[in-house]
Amino acid sequence: MKPLRTYLDASVLGGPFDPEFSEPSEKLFECALRGSLVPLISDTLIGEIADAPEEVQDLLERTIRAGVERLVLTQEAVALRGAYLKAGVLTPKYADDALHVAQATIARADVIASWNFKHLVNPVRVRAFNGVNVAHGYGIVVILTPEDVIKILEMRDEREEA
């Protein structure tokens, strides 16, 4: 079966180093190494973790070496981010979060993985992002925790074995 194209935000890269999120985060990266998912890594993410602890930066480097789909920042993504901000989905203070969603939307990611419950893994915000997406001719976006992404992959594996 085709690997799940999974956009990663900065919270996912920090997840393995946070006791609350370490186990599912580590499993997500194991799935990437096995080829069950293809991480989508954006320039926005790389910029966000430039000042992160060395262990987070090392994880990003290892992930890139293992194979990722790299997303460069485009004017189209900046414009879609602007539409999210204009619609009030997020405030300008959280423009990078909106940019993550815009880049994943334009890349047609299967899912965005995040531990950011306030701005991304939030049903009200997901609906709002999708309202803007549909109004601008884009597809819908799915935003889940790494734990939920793992559950999807495990269910898919079980169906293949049956």
CATH of the domain at 128: 3.40.50.1010
- State mean pLDDT over 34-54: 94
Domain tally, the chain: 1
Instruction: Please give the average per-residue pLDDT across 56-79, as a whole number.
Output: 95
Contacts of 61 (CB under 8 A, 6+ apart): none
Give the pLDDT confidence of 4-18 residue by residue, as tens digits.
999 999 999 999 999
Quote the domain boundaries for residue 30. Answer: 4-161
pLDDT in tens, 73-132: 999 999 999 999 999 999 999 999 999 999 999 999 999 999 999 999 999 999 999 999
For the cut 90, the answer to whether the pLDDT of residue 29 exceeds it is yes
**Averaged pLDDT, 25-48:** 94
